[in-house]
């Protein structure tokens, strides 16, 4: 009897440990104790922004664009995000629906499918586009990826319900990794479509899971596998972040073909992980006229060297699929990284850049986000543009800055109406007027 019990206990142990295996990384990530004490952030030195690889001082926009900018971009590709491929040769697009009386007649709603290969199959991305009907000329458009499908941005039965894999979410009625009718409009507060339309802007969005499902095996069904031949890049040469960023550039490709859009007034945005992707897209693709990164934190706007909130090691452990595998080499030695995130922000110059934090989002390190924006200023200065123009972090809900703007909003990790209002004000100031033409 004792032997049988012993045997059964052993089997149970083996079974339990087998069960534990796949969740090891998550468990390790859960054990992580973030530092929230400013006194324990530690000493660090940021890599030089304006010294070339040959240690020559960069003093003009021309030298920046010819020498330093390409060096920094390729260091980010090599050490952090992976390579950013060009567009697929056989890409083609189809407008699948147009509703000219959307939002009570104020807007035109279009749905477009971008097929990445010759075939009209699931290697594709669905774009949802709203344009203001009151416009008498091509309009500026905000673009950004969404977390839960295009149908989650508006409770409108005319929007195609995504059939892609997505994270389960009880509140959003995502069951068995599939959206349901109850998922419509689940994230509407994050997409202030009416306000944008009322102020003369369009909005283009697509589901990030169309490019790569956000889990560590997602690469097997996402474009890193399906397009590896077409784009001539192996799955391990980039990460999910790169795939999402690449998708943002493909939305831009569509917008360039739409007569109602002013393609010189396209503003790239993103929240959180998608705010990281927006930065990486804008670093590689300079067609975007303005960049907004909302609460993007580690791997986005926050300085990597500051040990506060999320760290390089934690992000690479919890989300092993997001970045290039090379980035993991810096898990325990972030000081050795040849770049830091202020250099990514500097790659946005001279385009206007908005960095936003939230007071209760300490995980993203608001101070590190501000300091990073501040440290990017010298490149704006090369172009004779004032960046933040302040030395200290502002009080909550007090946006600051000229060509680099920053606010820390009260409240949690989110993108709210307040955030959008600031982005619209910033765009009114810098974007309207660029490359204006009349409607054909
Ligand atoms: C968190 C992650 C952050 C941020 C966030 C989000 O879990 O640690 O870096 O990207 O997710 O995307 O909402």
pLDDT score of 217: 98
Cβ–ligand 1 contact at 273 (below 6 Å): yes
**Three-state DSSP class for residue 189:** helix
pLDDT score of 26: 58
**Residue 18: what pLDDT?**
35
pLDDT score, position 27: 61
Task: Say if ligand 1 is within 6 A of residue 315 CB.
Answer: yes
What tokens appear for 288 in the block?
Answer: 């975007």
Beta bridge partners of 112: 95, 127
Question: In the annotation, is 407 catalytic?
Answer: no
HSE-CB of 377 using CA atoms within 13 angstroms: 16
Task: Return the pLDDT at 203.
Answer: 98
- The DSSP secondary structure of 134-182, one letter per residue, reads T-SS-EEEEEEEESS-GGGSS--TTSPPP-S----BTTTTEETTEE-GG
For residues 377 and 385, give the distance between their C-alpha atoms in angstroms, rounded to a whole number: 9
Cα dihedral 280, 285, 290, 293 in deg (nearest 10): -10
E-state strands within 188-238: 202-207
Helix (H, G, I), strand (E, B) or coil at 258: coil
Q: What is the pLDDT of residue 28?
A: 66
Tell whether pTM > 0.85. Answer: yes
Alpha helix ranges (H) inside 150-296: 193-198, 223-226, 228-231, 240-255, 273-284
Per-residue model confidence (pLDDT) at position 439: 60
Q: How many residues does the chain have?
A: 440
Residue owning tokens 């499902």: 213
Q: Catalytic pick from 52, 92, 215, 413?
A: 413
Q: Which of 183, 249, 272, 372 is catalytic?
A: 272
Residue 295 C-alpha to ligand 1 middle, in angstroms?
9
Question: Catalytic site residue 225?
Answer: no
| Residue-level pLDDT at 31 | 87
**300 within ligand 1 shell (Cβ under 6 A):** no
Instruction: Report mean pLDDT in 10-residue bins for the chain, 440 residues.
Output: 44 37 53 96 97 92 98 98 96 98 98 97 97 97 98 97 98 98 98 98 98 98 98 98 99 98 98 99 98 98 98 98 98 98 98 98 98 98 98 98 98 98 98 73
The token duo for 12 is 């149970």
């Amino acid at each position: 009897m004792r032997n049988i019990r012993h045997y059964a206990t052993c089997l149970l142990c083996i079974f339990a440990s087998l069960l534990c295996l796949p969740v090891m990384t998550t468990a390790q990530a859960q054990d992580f104790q973030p530092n929230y004490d400013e006194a324990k952030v530690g000493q660090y030195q940021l890599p030089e922004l304006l010294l070339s690889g040959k240690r020559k001082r960069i003093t003009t926009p021309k030298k920046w664009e010819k020498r330093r900018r390409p060096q920094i971009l390729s260091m980010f590709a090599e050490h952090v995000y992976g390579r950013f491929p060009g567009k697929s040769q056989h890409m083609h697009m189809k407008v699948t629906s147009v509703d000219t009386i959307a939002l009570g007649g104020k807007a035109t709603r279009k749905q477009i499918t971008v097929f990445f290969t010759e075939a009209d199959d699931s290697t594709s991305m669905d774009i949802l586009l709203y344009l203001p009907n009151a416009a008498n000329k091509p309009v500026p458009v905000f673009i950004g990826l969404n977390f839960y499908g295009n149908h989650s941005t508006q409770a409108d039965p005319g929007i195609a319900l995504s059939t892609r894999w997505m994270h389960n979410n009880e509140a959003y009625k995502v069951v068995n990794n599939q959206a349901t009718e109850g998922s419509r409009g689940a994230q509407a507060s994050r997409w202030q479509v009416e306000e944008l339309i009322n102020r003369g802007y369009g909005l283009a969005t697509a589901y990030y899971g169309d490019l790569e499902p956000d889990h560590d095996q997602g690469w097997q069904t996402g474009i890193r596998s399906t397009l590896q031949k077409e784009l001539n890049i192996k799955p391990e040469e980039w990460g999910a972040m790169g795939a999402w960023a690449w998708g943002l550039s493909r939305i831009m490709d569509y917008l360039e073909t739409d007569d109602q859009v002013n393609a010189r007034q396209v503003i790239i945005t993103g929240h959180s992980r998608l705010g990281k992707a927006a930065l990486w897209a804008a670093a590689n693709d300079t067609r975007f006229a303005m960049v907004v990164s909302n609460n993007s934190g580690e791997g986005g706007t926050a300085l990597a060297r500051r040990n506060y909130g999320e760290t390089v090691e934690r992000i690479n452990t919890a989300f092993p699929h997001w970045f290039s595998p090379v980035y993991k080499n810096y898990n325990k030695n972030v000081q050795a990284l040849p770049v830091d995130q202020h250099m990514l922000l500097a790659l946005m110059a001279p385009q206007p850049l908005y960095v936003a934090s939230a007071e209760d989002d300490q995980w993203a390190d608001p101070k590190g986000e501000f300091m990073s924006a501040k440290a990017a200023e010298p490149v704006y200065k090369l172009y004779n543009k004032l960046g933040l123009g302040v030395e200290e972090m502002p009080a909550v809900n007090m946006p600051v800055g000229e060509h680099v703007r920053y606010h820390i909003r009260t409240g949690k990790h989110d993108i709210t109406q307040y955030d959008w209002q600031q982005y619209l004000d910033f765009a009114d100031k810098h974007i309207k007027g660029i490359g204006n033409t009349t409607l054909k």
